[in-house]
Amino acid sequence: MSLVCPVGPEGNLLSDPAKEHCKRLNVRHPVLTLDEMETLKSKVYVDKDGKKAFGSHVIDCTFPAGSGPDGMLQALERICDEAADAIQGGIGESGTQAVILSDRLVGPDRMALPSLIAVGAVHQHLLKTKQRPKSAIFAEAGDCKEVHDYATIFGYGCDGVCPYMAYEALCKMNNDGLVEAKSKSEFSDDEIMTNYRKAVGKGLLKVMSKMGISTLQSYKGAQVFEAVGLADEIVYRCFTGTTTRIQGTDFEALYRDLERLHQVGYPDNNNIETILVQNDGQLHYRDGGEAHLNTPGGMANLQVAARTNSREAYKEFARLTNEQNMKVTLRGQLKFKFDPSRAVPLDEVEPVKEIVKRFATGAMSLGSISQEAHETLAKAMNAIGGRSNTGEGGEDPKRFLDNRRSAIKQVASGRFGVTSHYLANSDQIQIKMAQGAKPGEGGELPGFKVSEYIAENRHTTPGVGLISPPPHHDIYSIEDLAQLIHDLKNAQPTGEVSVKLVSEVGVGVVAAGVAKALADHITISGHDGGTGAAAWTGLKGAGLPWELGLAETQQTLVLNGLRDRVKLQTDGQLKTGRDVVIACLLGAEEYGFATGPLIALGCIMMRKCHLNTCPVGIATQDEELRKKFAGEPEHVMNYFFLMAEEIREIMAKMGYRTMEDMIGQTQHLEVNRRGLHYKSRGLDLSPLLTPASELNPSAGIRNLNTQYHGLDLAKDNVLIEKSKDALENGTPVVFDEEINNLNRTCGTMLSYEISKRYGKEGLPDDTITINMKGHAGQSFAFTLAKGVTMNVEGDANDYTGKGLSGGKIAVFPSQEVLDDGFVAEDNVIVGNVCLYGATSGKAFFRGKAGERFCVRNSGALAVVEGTGDHCAEYMTGGDLVVLGETGRNFGAGMSGGIAYVYDPENKFPERCNMGLVGLEEIDTIEEKEKVFAFIQEHVEVTESPVGQRMLENGIGVQEFCQGLPT
């Protein structure tokens, strides 16, 4: 990835190369220093012929204070015209190659336009006049400080920014002794500005990577955003083409904000407070600062209500929370429409014990929170008939048979703890496509939170930090997702398969694809959900409110006649009965809670979850701090029962006896105009409130049917029947079977039967031996359990051995093709992403594997005769022997396990990603004997001539390279 970018006049790509095409400025970092900005402003570069090659023109982006919205709009029009004129040039004078939009002249009598508004307007204006390729746009901006500020301004066309005010504020803080250095006693001003630029650069790269963009040149002007709460008049003028669904703030409201900020910066009185940099509570709650949903008063009342089962305390909590909702959420801008003639007696409404069955706790992993907190949530949800969620960190198998069992088992991109036994002990398996709090990022657990217990459950190494890959490596299309859904349905035939999506524009279309891919359940996760480890940029600048995503999903599914096939759930700061009823009216059948239950258990919102220092023992693995955990299952139970009672009261007033009848009835919602803030008065919430039934009157608006997964046609039904003696009595069985590529996920339902009967330990090795002939379909031997050996004479498709859980696999070519001259070691025998997330077992392949072989392997032994790119990526355990060439980027992100690569020509070091991997020779007798044993077993099961030659000729230690995590 790169932030280096050439800017300035672009030549005609279709014309012959000429020196004029080279007259561009190479910007090595988009966040400019003060010196770089001064150089840009003051110098004109000339070529060898004495002609101007690169010059700049500064445009003042301030306007007279007190001139009102009209003055602001006139200033906006002026800077657009001035930019166009400067680029065009006068008579006999060539135009400028860079315009610099500067708010340096801001002062008591002059207000500054927001830099994003100014840059966006100029960028769009120059696009319309067809001048944008002729010039660069730079900004000298006092309001750029956070990564999201830069991400947006570059996304809307800026080529470089000099954040002079951020520099000055940092230098002042440094001079006042407010900046602490970890490595030495003090920083110089130059050092602190350099470090700030580096930090912003890393943040920009993170944002770009989440969007799948690798160069700033591609990111600039890409407009990868949705506007939330901006009126069309602003979007059309400054951010043309950006999606804005609910309207909102216009130029008049924007001016009022600018005026308020200007008064803060240049007050009438000059007391000491006015010269301090204010903390307005954007990140942490500050009294009198930015409104936060979780207030000290609300949290205190919730904890009293949870601990004492006090209805009065709960009502006060709900009142305070609902008031805050009016300030910070879309649902806070809505109100219920009650018809007194429809009201029903409260005693006719379904009881709380039925309502709470629709509740689930959030996917908080064992590791992000303590064992005590994780188990307490599970106990509470099991007691009330709801569901707790493991999160992506696995679960202790000892919990599977008691009240600590989590009903929802999550499968994320890291596949931590995912085994046949884990999946078999679930009521629902949730595929985490993304997380509402940080869409585009994988889960993250710092090394100091990876204790021995956590590492054991995740099948990783204690003390080593864990990062889930941003994508699932077995999902690159909706068809791949359908395959994973099918895999998981085979792994737990009696449970549901859920897919967790993030609320964002277009999520409805994605959800329709998920429903067609045969998911049973879809979760729409809102942007304001909690997380134990995420950058502020992701928390505050990515994702959308669940209200938008849920409404879009409900409407799209109904429109396409798919809604009756799936259940809908939503989550993201749901805290009160009012929140739940609104979610129900917008289309959700089930409701997820995370922050609320944690507060009920004692969370005090320190926001230090990632530091392992939680003072109440919730978000920590420190044994001493965990002793401070005082939460009880009854606290969560009380909270949910009180919330359910509030729901019942609203239902009675609305005229519904069951929540099932209330799902999708948006006609009971309307905009609360009296409660709108001045910036919200232009909101158009009709996209949320459109009744889905009007879009397709003949379609269901809630779940009425179940998906057909075709498990009755699976090959495993035959395998289970032939393995009956082994399953029931432990008697070894051996049999032959034909297989073709229509037989997907073969061996998984058989593994489910073993896991349900025999648990984690499975059966003794080779209790069931199945010799198959043909072409194995996708996900062959997915989560194959211990005791099963599956040999394929032929070949296998993608995802073979994915999630291997103790079983044995061997794939080798048939004798017929060998007799025809087929050379196995020169050809691919299995597809891509084999052994993804394998935790134990063995796999032997006589031939080459495709890309991403052994990605996230955490305990299996694999022997293969060559691989494609990205082999051993994110590997955390196990042994890998490669008896041939590898592709590039071997071992990227590898933090555990050992790889042995046959490399007689010394090509491997160039193909290995040395970021986390060190290369050594096999220099001990023990290691040599270990590799010898692996190859010998490979030869025994596959009759590999490559391995046989090595054994006969003796393994040359110097010809093997040993890859170890550093």
- Residues 6 or more apart in contact with residue 700 via CB below 8 angstroms: 558, 563, 564
Boundary (domain end) residue, out of 226, 256, 286? 226
Q: Which amino acid is at 505?
A: V
Same domain for 33 and 160, yes or no, is: yes
Instruction: Give the CATH number for residue 804.
Output: 2.160.20.60
Helix (H, G, I), strand (E, B) or coil at 62: strand
Same domain for 222 and 352, yes or no, is: no
pLDDT tens-digit profile of 100-149? 999 999 999 999 999 999 999 999 999 999 999 989 999 999 999 999 99
Boundary (domain end) residue, out of 206, 226, 246? 226
Same domain for 396 and 532, yes or no, is: yes
| Residue 9, domain member (yes or no) | no
| Residue 253, domain member (yes or no) | no
The encoded tokens of residue 747 equal 């061996």
Which one, of 915, 916, 912, lies nearest residue 889 by Cα?
912
Inter-CA distances, 333 with 124, 340, 417, 579, Å: 32, 22, 42, 12
Number of domains in the chain: 3
Cα–Cα dist 778/781, whole Å: 9
| Residue 788, domain member (yes or no) | no
| Residue 733, domain member (yes or no) | no
Boundary (domain end) residue, out of 189, 205, 226? 226
**What is the pLDDT at residue 91?**
44
In 211-273, where does DSSP find H-type helix?
Answer: 216-219, 232-238, 251-265
Which one, of 457, 375, 474, 472, lies nearest residue 418 by Cα?
457
Cα–Cα dist 403/80, whole Å: 66
Same domain for 569 and 444, yes or no, is: yes
Instruction: Give the CATH number for residue 611.
Output: 3.20.20.70
The encoded tokens of residue 882 equal 């490669």
At 56, which helix (H) or strand (E)? strand 56-60
pLDDT tens-digit profile of 518-550? 999 999 999 887 776 677 777 777 889 999 999
* Sequence-ordered strand ranges (E) for 505-655: 521-525, 567-571, 590-593
Burial 817-831 (b: 16+ CB within 10 A, else e): eeeeeeebbeebbbb
Same domain for 220 and 346, yes or no, is: no
Half-sphere exposure of 912 (CA within 13 A, CB side): 23
Contact 841, 784 (CB under 8 A): yes
For the chain, the distance separating the N- and C-terminal CA atoms, rounded to the nearest angstrom, is: 23
| Residue 680, domain member (yes or no) | no
- DSSP output for 515-547: HHTT-SEEEEE-TT---SS--HHHHHHS---HH
- Residues 6 or more apart in contact with residue 474 via CB below 8 angstroms: 480, 483, 484, 798, 799, 802, 833, 836
Inter-CA distances, 711 with 262, 719, 775, Å: 66, 13, 20
- Residues 6 or more apart in contact with residue 50 via CB below 8 angstroms: none
Angle at 706 between CA 640 and CA 554, to 5 degrees: 65
The three state secondary structure string of 648-664 is HHHHHHHCCCCHHHHCC
| Structural domain containing residue 632 | 340-665
Cα–Cα dist 884/375, whole Å: 47
Cα–Cα dist 383/377, whole Å: 10
Cα–Cα dist 962/440, whole Å: 34
pTM over 0.95: no
Which one, of 718, 749, 806, lies nearest residue 494 by Cα?
749
- Other CB atoms within a 10 A radius of the CB of residue 25 amount to 20
Query: In the chain, helix, strand, coil percent, each to 5?
Result: 40, 20, 40
Cα–Cα dist 464/451, whole Å: 9
| Residue 206, domain member (yes or no) | yes
**What is the pLDDT at residue 389?**
97
Same domain for 355 and 222, yes or no, is: no
| Residue 737, domain member (yes or no) | no
* Sequence-ordered strand ranges (E) for 777-894: 788-796, 805-812, 840-845, 858-864, 876-882
The encoded tokens of residue 808 equal 């044995």
Cα–Cα dist 318/334, whole Å: 16
| Residue 18, domain member (yes or no) | no
Q: Residues of the chain whose pLDDT is less than 70? A: 18-21, 45-53, 90-94, 181-185, 270-277, 532-533, 675, 955-957
